[in-house]
Amino acid sequence: MIQSYAMPSPLICAAQTMVEELKTCSFSAPVTHVYNPLEYAWETHREYLERYGSGQKRVLMLGMNPGPWGMAQTGVPFGEIELVRDWMGISGEVKKPLDEHPKRPIEGFACQRSEVSGRRLWGLFAERFESAEVFFQEHFVVNFCPLVWMAESGKNITPDTLPKQESAPVDEICQRHLKVVIEQLDPEFLIGVGAFALKQLTATKKRYFAQQDFQLGKILHPSPASPIANRGWAPAAQKQLEQQGVW
């Protein structure tokens, strides 16, 4: 008897293509280590896409890249462990990156550190929506780039600080991936979580969707590095979403 298997979804295929293409990118000092959670945490990322990424969404929210204690550990964007495990119902084995930074170990769901940005973002959604399933009926969250860059000291290096000759190939690859995500989800709203994400959404729309009338917008990034976010991120973000007609 021939056993049949379901074909991977377009989002899964697009993520796998992005992973392979990003392997061709190289980075110089001060970058010493690069993680891609879509490789070593693929099983949990795939579950996130399969469980919550199907169908049309009214709102697509775009983050920048993984945080060291969030998606880097769980494979889920803004992946604060407690909310990924208990609210989304996603958990599982997370492997190790090939070249692990001694000061930035990958412990998966056993990690004891908290991702503040993820706790704020998903915490707001968990308070407003009765379940993850209800939230994801109309919303989806994805990061623009899955890579984490680190210096020898362990310091996180954000993509907006990379030299142009190193960031340009990454942007090209990740915009192609974002194009597929937008095509598949066909959202009404494209919301950048922070200025970097809005910039990438704007560039991708101009490049691939010039004739389509997606509503572009942004919310404050929930990073603890932002003094404004530390003064009350949730009410500020909720107000922004309401003013833009998202909520």
Please list the residues that pair with 140 across neighbouring strands: 60
Beta pairing class for 31-35 and 148-151 = antiparallel
Q: Residues near 196 by Cβ (< 8 Å), separated by ≥ 6?
A: 64, 144, 158, 159, 160
pLDDT interval class at 237 (50, 70, 90)? very high
pLDDT interval class at 5 (50, 70, 90)? low
For the stretch 151-208, pLDDT in tens is 999 999 999 999 999 999 999 999 999 999 999 999 999 999 999 999 999 999 999 9
Q: What sign does the CA torsion over 185, 188, 190, 193 have?
A: negative
CATH class of 28-243: alpha beta
Tell me the domain boundaries of the chain: 28-243
Give the pLDDT score at 6: 63
Q: How far apart are CA 79 and CA 117, in angstroms?
A: 9
Phi/psi zone of residue 228: left (φ > 0), alpha (ψ -120 to 50 degrees), beta? alpha
pTM listed for this prediction: 0.94
